[in-house]
A and B are shown apart, each in its own frame.
Chain A
Amino acid sequence: MAFTRRKMLILGSASFATATLVGLPAFASLTDDAIIAITGGAETSDAGITLTAPEIAENGNTVPVEVSAPGATSIALFASGNPTPSVATFNFGPLAGSQTGATRIRLAKTQDVVAIATMPDGSFLRASVTVKVTIGGCGG
């Protein structure tokens, strides 16, 4: 089989989608500020809160995230590497059957997803999961 230069130029096509991964600034401080706005800088505990997210996002545009903190009055969710880190705040009334929230979020790049639960006694719980957003390919 022979390939001419013209054919090759016509056939040319980009392989790796990289646009979403290039150089966004760090937004961690925005997340830290938002968390302090909730907790007032109080210590957080990591017991009693479960944050579930994939280790590696199958599609960075829609990453399933679930958070559960039994007894919480509210849970705030942050994507620390996104331009606007605040994702959602789930508020639970006294009649809520469970204190669980699930949603799908867009992640611009590899980053920590953070959840802060506010408990009725005024204490706070924190969970954090690293979600990797990768170009993909080359799977042996």
Chain B
Amino acid sequence: MLSSHNRVLPSLLTLAIAPVIQYNYMYQLHAISPPEPTNTADWVYLAVVKQLWQKLAQRYRYSWILLKELVKTDFKLRYEGSWLGIAWSVLKPLMLFVVMYMVFVRFLRVSDGTPTWPIVLLCGISLWNFFSEATTMGMTAIVSRGDLLRKINFPKYITVVAATVGSLISLAINMCVVIIFGFFSYAHYTWRIILLPLNFAELYILALGVALILSTLFVWFRDMQHLWEVIMQAAFYATPIIYPLVMVQGMDKSHPGVGTTISKIMLLSPPAQAIMDIRHNLLSPENVPTVWNTIHTWYIQIIPVALTIIIFVFGVYIFQRNSKKFAEVL
């Protein structure tokens, strides 16, 4: 326990094997055995996988138990004492959507003119809310659990992961609402929805990476809270969420090149790319442009994904390097 949890690679592995954990957990839970392989090669493969799994399970047993309990607790406490309780996680984005819809679509007439725009707007707001909430909650996760950190030794990243997973649960609820609304709002569901797990994983990894960096900084610099609020506000308007990208493209009629360039740069920001991809793949493949169909050079296309990975790896690195000192600084 003393020497573990301070290397970067195992932490990366945790996320990579999350589905494996889920799979094994399912079998454990229901006390049924997985189907038996029929030939030797499969047997060997299974033995290796099983051994690897057991090692990982042993190593991350404590983290996994703690993560489950913390997420459960956080979720229970989130709407504790409020009259509508869990309904708020659906109501809040819906109400925000109504406000944005009235102001931007009805009053300011910001729309791309397609019938799918309202649902694309709702989806965008939900996704942005997730990103904003996950990073903000993740940032304060370490400091707000300071009393715990000073009294018991546990892998510190669990608190940040628990905070972001909490936001992820809210997002899942919101997405259910979006999908149901989609049926009445001309959403075009296609085969592309199979790409969604990848898109959501990317958005989550990005949020977690940012949260890890921010939470580390926040331990030493409490200014980050206020600074990040401003940055998030700026980023919200710099991301094509409440306005369609076509509006940016056509903003300067005399110099069409300027608008096109700006819109391309906008798409290169990791949150914008992930959000546009999800809207494209889930709701409206025809009307939502993405980095993949707007930019045609492959090494520029991959910039947002590469940035996401860099941010995440850097986040894990900086967090694990400093997490030993958290208990002393707090």
Indicate whether A and B interact.
no
Interface residues of B (CB under 8 A from A): none
Interface residues of A (CB under 8 A from B): none
